[in-house]
Every structure is written in C-alpha cells, then in structure tokens.
C-alpha cells in the first residue's frame, strides 16, 4: 500500500492546508477544516487506496497534433533562439542571479502573449499582486487576458489552471512553492521535485506552455535537483553584470531548436530591449590609443562578437607577484604567461599582471588566448596595438597558435566590420603560427 499523510480540507471551499487552523486561510470560515488521509506522490487530493486509471500506449501515427503549433512570444529574437516560439505543453526553465531581470523579462513575455488574446497566468511566490501590477503598468503590459496569482502553494496554481483555458503559465519561482505531496521547507529537493513534476504533468496534459524560474547557486549553476534540467524541454540562463545595462540570454538545452544560442538585451526603465546587432555592442567608449587593450572576435553561441580584452602589467613590490583575471579563468592567464616566458624569453617575476574582459562579459572559449597574449605584450612594452586590429586563436603549451571553431564566420564578420590587420591562426592563408610570429608582427622594435 502507498504511504499516506494527513491534511486538512475546508468543508466550504475545499482548500487544503498541512496543519489544522481555527480559520480557513482561503475563505476565512471558522472551524471548517477537517482531517483527510491522502496518498503521497500524487497531484492533487486523492483518498488513500484509490486506484489509478490505466494508461495505454498508442501508435505515433495516430497521435493527434492539432493545437500543438508554436506561437510567438512577442519578441521575434526570442522566438528565434527558442526554435519557433513557445510550444504548447513545453517546459522552459529560466535561471539567473537575483536582480538580473528574470521577472521583468518574463512579465514582458506574459504581457505580449496576453496582447495576442491568449490567456496567461503569472503565478509568483516572491512578490505581491500590487508589485506585479506596478511593474506591468510601467512596462505598459496591462491586459484583461493577463491574470496573476500570489501564492506559495502549488495546489492553488493547479486550481487556477483548471478554471479557464490558459496558453501560458509563468511560475516565479519554483523554489518558493510548496506541495502537500512532499515534506520539508520550500526550496528543498523533495519540494522542488514535487512542484515541478506536478506542474509539468498538468501543463503537458492540457497543452499549456510552462516557464519555470529557478534560483542559482553562488557558482552560477541552477539550484535544486538536476532532474529539473532533464525533465524540461528548454534550459536558458540570463547572465550579466547588474552594474551594466546589458544582459545575455544563453540557451543550454533546447528540444525544439539549436543549442548554445545567445541573445543580448539592454536593460532600461521600459524593460528589456533586444540588441539587434551586438557585434560591436561591447566596445562602447573604447580608446584604441591606449596600450594593454586588444579586440577578440569571439563566438559565443552561434554569433561572432567583437569584445575588448584588457591587461595591465605593473611593477610589483610584493615578494610573490599578483595575478588577477576577471571574466575568464585565472589558470588560463597563468598558463599563457608561462608560455610567453618560455617561448619569448620574457621575465614576469617582477611585475603584477591584471587582465579582464571588457563590458563585464565572461568568455570561456579558446579563441580568447591570442588576444589575451597581445594585450599582455602591449602593456608590457607599453605599445598600443593598431586601432582596427582584431585577433583570435588558441595558444598551446609550445607557443603555437591553433585554429578554433567558426573560423570562417569570425573572418567574415571581421572583414564586414572593417578590421585590419586581422590576426588569426592560419599560416597558409596569411595568418600566424606561433606567438613569436605575433610578437614579430605587432612589436617588431621590441
């Protein structure tokens, strides 16, 4: 027999609560809560010992696909990175740091979908209804088809879904919701698993698109069980520095479109606005006459972006020189400095070296190596690079420069933007092969 637990059900409004109270928290009636035994692990209230209905397999050719065509989110660029838009019955998990703009972006999507005369339910456990209304008024998204619900009980959300025909459900956030089917405080593994499973099963059965907001840990990964990422259809992350205006939306998993897509937003008082051409968006206010700066043609997702890399080499007064890196792994900086000392016979034991990626971006791709080397040499010799110089390439431990992915796309984008010289790893086509060749080409007098 399945395990049972005791919950209290109001005899007037049928609301559920895990503990007895003198007054019903939903309808405010007194002395109406009655104890009822229910089975664990099922969505909704079910008497103990109830028999589940049998589910039979069906031939794929006989499956009806009417009503499962994707619909637009109101943002054409977002539809492109998601595949063809929002798919009925699909589950989308959105992660990001606190204050990065998740609630603002999803309220925009909810409002734009509602303006298409599609019923939308925005359920939140983090804000009150007046707060959501104030933000919607600021964004100009108030619409009769946009309804909101402030609760921390998933049963309230399921009951709201049962009333009317909704196209989209936004839940902000899954860590704030609790279920009567699980024990523990909101946000623990059992509660997150139970809430997500109940919502996903209901939305897939009724054809409602589900967007779940998930918290992230201090390391930037989604909190909670990895079961969430396996269960949903799409996993996206909203990143960026809260002190800057831009935000990056990355797609890590997508069953309806390409992975590793990237979308750039600009945060403003009127919400998130898509940056149509982010190729040079991260080079604002750059002064090319200064030493220690280089431009890398990086590929983040499927699109080449011109990003500034900065380095500062300064005399040290410490017994152990300082090495600092922002926007990439500091171990990469240590590795490249060791290569320069070995292959170019340079000495960095009396200098501090600081390096960062401009604009608050984080880059992990290997094409960053060559631009980082050029920025360090530029600061070391105190010689600026040519104004329109752009670089990319992977540097190995032997000092050789190796090709990276999307070489042709980077080259075409650099030529389109008018960069010259273009320094890239292809010796047979006018590129360079080693870091020594880079030094000879850009710093001949040194």
Residue 156 contacts residue 14 (beta carbons within 8 Å): no
In a domain, 58, yes or no: no
pLDDT the model gives residue 376: 96
- Clarify whether residues 263 and 286 are in a common domain: no
pLDDT the model gives residue 44: 47
pLDDT the model gives residue 54: 63
| Single residue among 227, 249, 276 that ends a domain in this structure | 276
Task: Output the CA angle 220-224-227, nearest 5 degrees.
Answer: 110
pLDDT the model gives residue 363: 87
Residue 284 to residue 372: CA distance in whole angstroms = 19
In a domain, 216, yes or no: yes
pLDDT the model gives residue 354: 97
- Clarify whether residues 288 and 266 are in a common domain: no
**Cβ-Cβ contacts under 8 Å for 218 (sequence gap 6 or more):** none
Asked if residue 99 belongs to a known ligand binding site, the reply is yes
- Clarify whether residues 261 and 295 are in a common domain: no
Residue 217 contacts residue 98 (beta carbons within 8 Å): no
- Clarify whether residues 31 and 147 are in a common domain: no
- Clarify whether residues 383 and 323 are in a common domain: yes
In which domain, by residue range, is 324 found?
Answer: 281-442
Task: Output the CA angle 282-286-289, nearest 5 degrees.
Answer: 145
Q: Tens digit of pLDDT for each residue in 254-291? A: 998 877 778 889 888 888 898 877 777 778 778 888 99
Asked if residue 101 belongs to a known ligand binding site, the reply is yes
- Clarify whether residues 162 and 201 are in a common domain: yes
Asked if residue 54 belongs to a known ligand binding site, the reply is no
- Clarify whether residues 272 and 336 are in a common domain: no
| Single residue among 227, 257, 276 that ends a domain in this structure | 276
Residue 413 to residue 40: CA distance in whole angstroms = 57
- Clarify whether residues 177 and 290 are in a common domain: no
In a domain, 52, yes or no: no
Give the predicted TM-score (pTM) of the model: 0.75
Asked if residue 353 belongs to a known ligand binding site, the reply is no
In a domain, 50, yes or no: no
- Clarify whether residues 312 and 268 are in a common domain: no
Per-residue tens of pLDDT for the chain, all 446 residues = 456 677 888 888 888 777 788 888 778 888 888 888 766 554 444 443 444 456 688 888 887 777 678 999 999 989 988 888 999 999 999 998 888 899 999 999 999 999 999 999 999 999 999 999 999 999 999 999 999 999 999 999 999 998 888 999 999 989 999 988 888 888 888 899 999 999 999 999 899 999 999 988 877 778 777 888 889 999 999 988 777 788 889 888 999 887 777 888 988 888 889 887 777 777 877 888 899 999 999 987 777 889 999 999 999 999 999 999 999 999 999 999 999 999 999 999 999 999 999 877 888 889 999 999 999 999 999 999 998 999 999 999 999 999 998 889 899 989 988 999 999 998 677 788 899 999 998 887 65
In a domain, 407, yes or no: yes
pLDDT the model gives residue 379: 96
CATH code, 81: 3.40.50.300
pLDDT the model gives residue 47: 42
In a domain, 62, yes or no: no
pLDDT the model gives residue 46: 46
| Single residue among 250, 276, 302 that ends a domain in this structure | 276
Asked if residue 184 belongs to a known ligand binding site, the reply is no
Q: Tens digit of pLDDT for each residue in 2-18? A: 566 778 888 888 887 77
Asked if residue 218 belongs to a known ligand binding site, the reply is no
In a domain, 126, yes or no: yes
- Clarify whether residues 15 and 79 are in a common domain: no
- Clarify whether residues 364 and 407 are in a common domain: yes
Asked if residue 356 belongs to a known ligand binding site, the reply is no
In a domain, 361, yes or no: yes
pLDDT the model gives residue 27: 81
pLDDT the model gives residue 3: 60
pLDDT the model gives residue 275: 85
Residue 377 to residue 395: CA distance in whole angstroms = 14
Residue 93 contacts residue 55 (beta carbons within 8 Å): no
The phi, psi pair for 324, rounded to 5°, reads -130, 135
Q: How many domains does the chain have?
A: 3
The phi, psi pair for 206, rounded to 5°, reads -100, -5
CATH code, 419: 3.30.230.10
Asked if residue 100 belongs to a known ligand binding site, the reply is yes
- Clarify whether residues 267 and 297 are in a common domain: no
* Share of residues in the chain with pLDDT > 90 (%): 52
**Cβ-Cβ contacts under 8 Å for 425 (sequence gap 6 or more):** 370, 392, 393, 394, 401, 402, 403, 404, 431, 432, 433
Of 211, 213, 158, 164, give the one whose Cα is nearest residue 180: 158
């Amino acid at each position: 027999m399945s395990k049972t637990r005791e919950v209290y059900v109001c005899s007037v409004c049928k609301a559920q609560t895990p503990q007895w109270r003198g007054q019903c928290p939903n309808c405010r009636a007194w002395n109406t809560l009655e104890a009822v035994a229910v089975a664990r692990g099922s969505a909704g209230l079910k008497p103990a010992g109830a028999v589940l209905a049998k589910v039979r397999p069906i031939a794929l050719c006989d499956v009806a696909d009417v009503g499962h065509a994707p619909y637009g989110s109101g943002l054409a660029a977002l539809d492109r990175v998601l595949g063809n838009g929002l798919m009925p019955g699909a589950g989308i998990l959105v992660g990001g740091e606190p204050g990065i703009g998740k609630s603002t972006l999803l309220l925009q999507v909810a409002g734009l979908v509602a303006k298409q005369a599609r019923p939308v339910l925005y359920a939140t456990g983090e804000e009150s209804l007046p707060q959501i209304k104030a933000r919607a008024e600021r964004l100009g998204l108030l619409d009769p088809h946009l309804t909101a619900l402030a609760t921390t009980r998933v049963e309230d959300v399921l009951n709201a879904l049962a009333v009317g025909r909704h196209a989209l459900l936004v839940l902000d956030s899954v860590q704030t919701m609790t279920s009567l089917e699980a024990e523990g405080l909101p946000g623990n593994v059992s509660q997150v698993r139970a809430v997500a499973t109940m919502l996903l099963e209901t939305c897939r059965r009724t054809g409602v698109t589900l967007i779940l907001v998930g918290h992230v840990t201090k390391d930037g990964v989604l909190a909670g069980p990895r079961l969430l990422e396996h269960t949903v259809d799409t996993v996206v992350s909203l990143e960026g520095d809260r002190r800057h205006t831009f935000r990056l939306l990355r797609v890590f998993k997508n069953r309806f479109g390409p992975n590793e897509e990237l979308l750039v937003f600009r945060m403003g008082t009127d919400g998130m606005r898509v940056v149509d051409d982010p190729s040079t968006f991260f080079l604002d206010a750059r002064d090319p006459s200064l030493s220690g700066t280089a431009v890398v043609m990086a590929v983040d997702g499927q699109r080449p972006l011109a990003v500034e890399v900065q380095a500062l080499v300064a005399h040290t007064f410490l017994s152990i020189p300082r090495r600092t890196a922002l926007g990439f792994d500091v171990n990469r900086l240590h590795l490249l400095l060791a290569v320069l000392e070995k292959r170019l016979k340079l000495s960095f034991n009396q200098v501090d070296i600081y390096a960062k990626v401009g604009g608050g971006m984080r880059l992990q791709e290997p094409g960053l190596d060559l631009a980082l080397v050029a920025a360090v040499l530029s600061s070391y010799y105190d010689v600026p690079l040519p104004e329109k110089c752009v670089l990319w390439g992977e540097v190995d431990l032997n000092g050789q420069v190796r090709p990276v992915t999307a070489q042709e796309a980077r080259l075409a984008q650099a030529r389109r933007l008018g960069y010259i010289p273009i320094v890239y790893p292809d010796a047979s086509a006018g590129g360079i092969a080693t870091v020594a060749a880079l030094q000879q080409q850009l710093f001949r007098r040194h």
